């Protein structure tokens, strides 16, 4: 459990300190979503309930769709500006 908390804190710090690089910001968001999904699985296992696993599966599907949309927006952003750095 503390490992998940440490990973979440690292992802939040990565999001805050990489404010100029979009790919690192997206990577930090994905890590936060995965940590949330793992926590749902952990609490579902802890309380002997399958709803945590079902919700985490739904969350991972949404995270995959979110990353596909974000990467397509990044490609469009790169085509327009020639760079993916935020000024």
Query: What CA–CA distances, in Å, run from 74 to 14, 30, 50, 59?
Result: 19, 15, 36, 22
**Residue 82 confidence (pLDDT):** 86
Third-level CATH fold of 2-81 = Helix Hairpins (1.10.287)
pLDDT tens, position by position, 22-65: 888 889 999 999 999 999 999 999 998 889 889 999 999 999 99
Q: What is the pTM of this model?
A: 0.83
Give me the long-range contacts of 53-58 (CB less than 8 A, separation at least 24). Answer: none
Task: State the Cα–Cα distance between residues 18 and 24, nearest whole angstrom.
Answer: 6
């Amino acid at each position: 459990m503390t490992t998940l908390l440490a990973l979440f804190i690292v992802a939040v710090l990565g999001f805050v300190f990489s404010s100029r690089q979009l790919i690192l910001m997206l990577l930090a968001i994905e890590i936060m979503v995965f940590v949330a999904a793992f926590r749902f699985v952990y609490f579902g296992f802890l309380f002997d309930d399958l709803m945590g696993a079902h919700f985490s599966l739904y969350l991972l599907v949404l995270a995959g769709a979110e990353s596909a949309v974000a990467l397509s927006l990044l490609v469009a952003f790169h085509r327009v500006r020639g760079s993916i750095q935020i000024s």
